[in-house]
Amino acid sequence: MLSETGKSPNHNATKKATWHWPIFAVLSLIILPLILAAFYVSFQTFRELHNFTLSRREGFASLAAIMIKEKFDRVIDVGISLSTRVRFQELVEAGKWDEAIKIMEDVPKNFQYIDTVALFDTTGTVWAVTPLTLEIAPLIGKDFSSRDYYQGIAKNWEPYVSEVFKRAPKPQYKVVSIAIPIKSDKILGILLLTIKLDAIVAWSKNIDVGPAGFVYIVDRKGHLAAHPTLSAEGDIVDYFSVPTIQRVLKGEQGVEVLFNPIENEERITAYAPVPDYGWGAIVVQPTRIAFIERNRAVGRVAAIWTLAIFVVGFFTYRLLRDRSLIKAQRDRESTLLRSIGDGVFSIDRYWNITQWNKAAERITGWTEEEVLEKPFRNFVKFIREHDWKENITFIEEAMLYGKVYFMESNTVLMKKDGQEMPVGDCASPIFDEKGQVIGAIIIFRDVSAEREAKRMRSDFTYASHQLRTPVNRALWSLEIALEEKRKEAIIDKLSVAYISLKSVAKLVEGLLIVSDIDQRTILPSKENLRLLDMMDEVTRSLAQEAEKKGVALIIEPISTALGIFTDKKLFTRILFELIQNAILYSGKGSKVVIRTISQAEGILVEINDFGIGIPSEQQALIFTKFFRGQNVPEDSVGGGLGLFIAKETIQILGGKIWFKSEQNKGTTFYLSLPA
């Protein structure tokens, strides 16, 4: 049947259906690649986060193994220090065991992880123990040569960490013993330091694996030495039959996902051997916890891609149907996003707030209800950083001259909670219908990221410049060396290349430390340390460099009892930088004198060189990043970061650093650190 126009009633429907086919075809061409991309990205995210999670747990296992090694090394160092006391060795050699053990009476008090200290002769017979209890007393004079700790030390008379065992006297809790040979020109006896498993359990708990995760430690025979549920009492738990334990005791390191039938769940098990001791550290965490971030991330990626596909499909359909409508909609959305991004508020001629957007609430901490119709200066304080005075000139000028005026650079906003935020932007006048200024709109935004980016660009540019010179010098020297025939010339050019590349390595290492300082990720781990030990360690590491330069390193006597409570790694780094710097700027035949002064509030270290000194006009810049003096020797390595690192690090430790210098006479650096 035809209509009055002569066309079938189904004609329009057929035409509409025909018109939809190109749209669906285009949508398919757009959406199908997006679906494939979604699957690919989700899979890649899953794989990367899966591998990251496994490698992170493996890192935890390595960290636990290193931590256990350091603890054992520390106990052995303590034992060696105790066993090498002259008076102690004289008493042991004379068989005066009771007098010798008195020297050790304070050891369990000073080192709380040490349970008992015992003295054995070279045949394995125990002759003295502290603390001596009624249960231990009957064991004096008995032969313990069958014990693992005696068998282990008797092989080569070197320090030995025993396997887990039950001690002989009651209460018979599980312990680990560290045997230290007492020797001078011959073996005099054995010093045995016994550690309860509770101490090793406490050590293992220092490694934070995450929720439901834990670390456990096994000895060289697979006996459990530390576990969150392990009790010092009871029988020794043997894990040697567990395949993971067998692998770690063979020196293997790895990570596996295993099913635990007892707990009926999958677990990530990472393991690493304890270097030098044959023990093993194992990290365990349920996969449902360990992979929760992976699963969430993949879920977010999938949700985002699903939403993106839906949005792309929807807006593509709308675009094909009505491009102008989509453009208008996008313009409105863009305007809305711009208005939300920055803080915006308006004031009237009397400086009372009349408008206050959500971004202003978020940035300042003041809600709209708190500020509306109230004086602007009671809530919003723009402060100049250079003189710490209020900065409202740009608002006054905008209202006075009827033009847009921008904030001064280096302006901060004082937020409701008292925090400071770097801000920027402008004030624009508001006109009425007669063209009269009736107020102003103030726009402000957080520029912290921009400042940091600018600083980073500056640092990166300077670092790149510092790297380019030694790299080019090394390449040039290597190119000439390749063409040289004479051995002496080749060695000379290779030496230049070596010094240049060494400078690159030192600069890169310094940049990594500076990055940690700038990001405030350095957290000191303080402990009681002997200053003499640290000073010996630093000077030994620099002895060859000093000898090569022809500089004498002189350390004025330091009391062996002089101690300091600080972070060993950070303080050693400071000493290394300053002493190395003194060597660098000293001439051949000169000397560097290191003096330590004990003060009531702490210690003072003086590092005095008699080198080229620091020009007076450059002394104000000496601690700035990348600064190198004009008189720096040509063969020096580094990039001007050493003194900056030393200053920032000593401040982290709560100390101070300063210097005195006279050109061509030398420089003295002073380090003050609380005890």
* pLDDT interval class at 516 (50, 70, 90): low
pLDDT of residue 257: 92
| 493 closest CA partner among 507, 482, 506, 505 | 482
Judgement on whether residues 593 and 563 belong to the same structural domain of the protein: yes
pLDDT of residue 631: 56
Judgement on whether residues 496 and 414 belong to the same structural domain of the protein: no
Judgement on whether residues 253 and 314 belong to the same structural domain of the protein: yes
pLDDT of residue 5: 43
* pLDDT interval class at 577 (50, 70, 90): confident
Across 244-253, 430-439, 623-632, which has the greatest mean pLDDT?
244-253
Task: Measure the CA–CA gap between 639 and 636, rounded to whole angstroms.
Answer: 9
* pLDDT interval class at 518 (50, 70, 90): low
pLDDT of residue 153: 94
Q: Which of 269, 293, 321 is the last residue of a domain?
A: 321
For the chain, count helices (H), then strands (E): 18, 25
- Per-residue pLDDT tens over the stretch 281-326: 999 999 998 888 889 988 998 898 888 888 887 877 788 776 555 5
pLDDT of residue 567: 86
pLDDT above 50 for 4: no
pLDDT above 60 for 19: no
Across 396-400, 461-465, 515-519, 559-563, which has the greatest mean pLDDT?
396-400
Sign of the torsion formed by the C-alpha atoms of 290, 296, 298 and 299 = positive
| 345 closest CA partner among 361, 328, 322 | 361
Judgement on whether residues 479 and 579 belong to the same structural domain of the protein: no
Q: Is 3 a member of any domain? A: no
Could you tell me the two tokens for 451?
């400042």
pLDDT above 90 for 509: no
pLDDT of residue 502: 59
- Calculate the alpha carbon distances from 160 to 107, 118, 149, 150, 240 in Å: 19, 15, 7, 9, 21
- What CATH number has the domain bearing residue 438? 3.30.450.20
pLDDT of residue 220: 93
Judgement on whether residues 252 and 383 belong to the same structural domain of the protein: no
Q: How large is the average pLDDT for residues 40-66?
A: 91
pLDDT of residue 334: 41
pLDDT of residue 67: 93
Show the domain range for 539.
Answer: 527-674
- Per-residue pLDDT tens over the stretch 440-461: 988 888 887 777 656 655 555 5
Q: Is 330 a member of any domain? A: no
pLDDT of residue 11: 47
Q: Is 248 a member of any domain? A: yes
- Per-residue pLDDT tens over the stretch 63-89: 999 999 999 999 999 999 999 999 999
Q: Catalogue the E-assigned strands of 365-451.
A: 381-384, 405-406, 411-414, 420-431, 437-446
Q: How large is the average pLDDT for residues 171-190?
A: 93
- What CATH number has the domain bearing residue 458? 1.10.287.130
Q: What is the percent of the chain with per-residue pLDDT over 90, rounded to a whole number?
A: 30
Task: For residue 490, give every residue at least 6 positions away whose Cβ sits within 8 Å of its Cβ, in sequence order, or none.
Answer: 481, 484
- What CATH number has the domain bearing residue 531? 3.30.565.10
- Per-residue pLDDT tens over the stretch 591-615: 899 998 888 788 889 999 988 888 8
Q: Which residue has the higher pLDDT, 26 or 156?
A: 156
Judgement on whether residues 419 and 502 belong to the same structural domain of the protein: no
pLDDT above 80 for 3: no
Judgement on whether residues 237 and 132 belong to the same structural domain of the protein: yes
Judgement on whether residues 122 and 165 belong to the same structural domain of the protein: yes
Judgement on whether residues 472 and 429 belong to the same structural domain of the protein: no
Q: Where are the alpha helices (DSSP H) in 372-436?
A: 393-401
Task: For residue 135, give every residue at least 6 positions away whose Cβ sits within 8 Å of its Cβ, in sequence order, or none.
Answer: 169, 170, 171
pLDDT of residue 329: 59
Q: Which of 414, 446, 478 is the last residue of a domain?
A: 446
pLDDT of residue 643: 83
Eight-state DSSP code of residue 162: P
- Average pLDDT of the residues of the chain: 82
* pLDDT interval class at 556 (50, 70, 90): confident
Q: Is 329 a member of any domain? A: no
Q: Which residue has the higher pLDDT, 536 or 263?
A: 536
Task: Measure the CA–CA gap between 348 and 168, rounded to whole angstroms.
Answer: 88
pLDDT of residue 479: 65
Q: How large is the average pLDDT for residues 150-168?
A: 93
Which residue's structure tokens are 């929720």? 211
Q: Worst-scoring range by mean pLDDT, 37-51, 60-74, 494-508?
A: 494-508
Q: Is 206 a member of any domain? A: yes
Q: Which of 388, 423, 446 is the last residue of a domain?
A: 446
pLDDT of residue 2: 43
Q: Which residue has the higher pLDDT, 47 or 637?
A: 47
- Per-residue pLDDT tens over the stretch 196-215: 998 999 998 888 888 889 99
Contact call for residues 498 and 559 (beta carbons, < 8 A): no
pLDDT above 80 for 20: no
Task: Measure the CA–CA gap between 189 and 68, rounded to whole angstroms.
Answer: 26
Judgement on whether residues 258 and 368 belong to the same structural domain of the protein: no
Helix 642-652 to helix 487-518 angle (10° resolution) is 30
Provide DSSP, 209-223.
--TT-EEEEE-TTSB
Judgement on whether residues 442 and 456 belong to the same structural domain of the protein: no
Judgement on whether residues 413 and 455 belong to the same structural domain of the protein: no
* pLDDT interval class at 1 (50, 70, 90): very low
Amino acid 3 reads: S
Q: Is 377 a member of any domain? A: yes
Q: Worst-scoring range by mean pLDDT, 227-236, 345-354, 441-450?
A: 441-450
Task: Measure the CA–CA gap between 528 and 675, rounded to whole angstroms.
Answer: 9
- Per-residue pLDDT tens over the stretch 129-146: 999 999 899 999 999 999
Q: Which residue has the higher pLDDT, 63 or 234?
A: 63
Q: How large is the average pLDDT for residues 47-72?
A: 92
pLDDT of residue 14: 47
Q: Worst-scoring range by mean pLDDT, 197-211, 344-358, 387-401, 631-645?
A: 631-645
- Calculate the alpha carbon distances from 316 to 310, 313, 323, 325 in Å: 10, 5, 9, 12
Burial class (CB in 10 A: 0-12, 13-18, 19+), 480: middle
Task: Measure the CA–CA gap between 609 and 660, rounded to whole angstroms.
Answer: 11
pLDDT of residue 627: 65
Q: Is 10 a member of any domain? A: no
Give the count of domains, the chain.
4
**Which residues are paired to 194 by β-bridges?**
116, 177
Task: For residue 475, give every residue at least 6 positions away whose Cβ sits within 8 Å of its Cβ, in sequence order, or none.
Answer: 497
Q: Is 82 a member of any domain? A: yes
Q: Which residue has the higher pLDDT, 51 or 310?
A: 51
Task: Measure the CA–CA gap between 616 and 431, rounded to whole angstroms.
Answer: 58
Q: Which residue has the higher pLDDT, 630 or 451?
A: 451
**Cα angle, residue 353 at apex, residues 349 and 357 outer, rounded to 5°:** 135
End-to-end CA distance of the chain: 106
